A and B are shown apart, each in its own frame.
Chain A
């Protein structure tokens, strides 16, 4: 079934797409959200709106995504399995659809241990693969999970995450295959710094023909500083940051490290464009949204298609 998603239309037209990311504020500060999002207009094809990422309470992804729609941006509403059961999820999907949101990303979600409410109870009624299956059935069969008919079908373009750097590596492509079987339309990967490992993963993806069944958007995050590079290398589970990149950041003069980080990101984007099966990039400029125009222009991805 078709959706009104421009992201879908561009991917199906064979465009090399760009998605961005926008973390909602830790409160109801609409102005702050709009300021961040404003930087992205015209430079990305769609914008992920995170769902209480790292389990820190923020404006809801559905609320923030609806605000982005109002600004003329196309959101990808993230939804994690940590905080909602299947009743709340499906209800929110109806609500999101009614508010003009037509892309969503189905995620397990960071464990609440990492956030600011470590004492919270988690839900995990369904996992991310089951959520994909639920959304697909809602859209394609017009039924909620229990089998009841839907009055007004939500037409979501369904996304998921893939992490080529998590373990067991040998299972990672098989897990992507499960997401495809469940009905995912596109995947965005974890931030890629270890290009060799990503290429090895993509070879497996292409060998199995999975790139024909799902649109793969390669995740990139520009390094803002040497400190950030070291932090990501050491503390962020599922991210592999090679020593050579840390050295490159370290060797750059302090005042030009931010530009070095952007330069690295641009080079990564260029490498990613040449990898068979990669249909776009997912640019996660974390709290650095104002640098997105520079990155996209310098990477030769501007202007964006209509």
Chain B
């Protein structure tokens, strides 16, 4: 899933200053699952914004909505009446959701600020209750079949492809004793799988054009296009 962190309330406040009517908009997708931008978080943030306005003796109306997905126009368009009626939307979706809402809002008659309430951080997975870890960087050229199902691009601090650097110590990465060395994990996994020969092969330079380096990416399935 896409994981994110709620922005500091001061930062959100600063971005909607002078907006008397605000809609806090949640998303039932990834950000609900990682407890960042679902219905519950919308409610908490909306309350905080109301309290902050009251403390400053400002008139501000803060509304709350949560839609199925902010990364799909159809769900956003269903909410058009509520959006067209406010001065600002604080989106608690990932960056993709914020941009989609902003695009819809830009087509409306009045100028409506659409601001992010979340810092989108990574593509990750739940490791335990309340803990998520980065697992993928969307590089567009998966090597997990070689590395025993552990991604060196996302999980090695240097995205190395040919084994651990000199900073691997007792299973940990040199950058932080809390961070696992991805290549130690890969080594251990390949040992279990009886595929250590994957470690001794020199992996050639990669074609990063499948990643962000090749410019913004678009995926098209022709038969689904209307």
Contact = CB atoms under 8 A, between A and B. Distances in A.
A126 interface: yes
Contacts, number: 97
Residue from B160, B184, B188 with most neighbouring chain A CB atoms (10 Å): B160
A124 interface: yes
Contacts of B200: 174, 177-178
Interface string A243-276: 0000000000000000000000000000000000
Interface in A138-182: 145, 161, 163, 166-168, 170-171, 174-175, 177-178, 181-182
A145 B205 CA distance: 9
What size tier do the contact residues of chain B reach? 20 to 34
Interface residues of A, number: 36
Contacts of A170: 187
B172 to A, nearest CB: 9
Given A111-B174, A113-B175, A177-B200, A167 B160 contact: no
A199 interface: no
Given A108-B158, A111-B158, A130-B162, A237 B202 contact: no
Contact of A167 (B162, B169, B205): B169
A147 to B, nearest CB: 12
Nearest to B190: A171
Given A108-B158, A127-B158, A167-B169, A178 B205 contact: no
Given A111-B174, A125-B208, A171-B163, A181 B202 contact: yes
B158 A166 contact: no
Contacts of A238: 166-169, 174
B169 A129 contact: no
- SS class of chain B's interface: helix, strand, loop or mixed? loop
A174 B202 CA distance: 11
Contact of A178 (B159, B163, B169, B174): B163
A82 interface: yes
Contact of B160 (A108, A114, A168, A181): A108
Residue from A161, A166, A174 with most neighbouring chain B CB atoms (10 Å): A166
Interface in B122-159: 157-159
Contacts of B202: 129-130, 133, 178, 181-182
A86 B209 CA distance: 13
A167 B159 contact: no
Interface of B: 157-171, 174-176, 181, 184, 187-188, 199-200, 202-205, 208
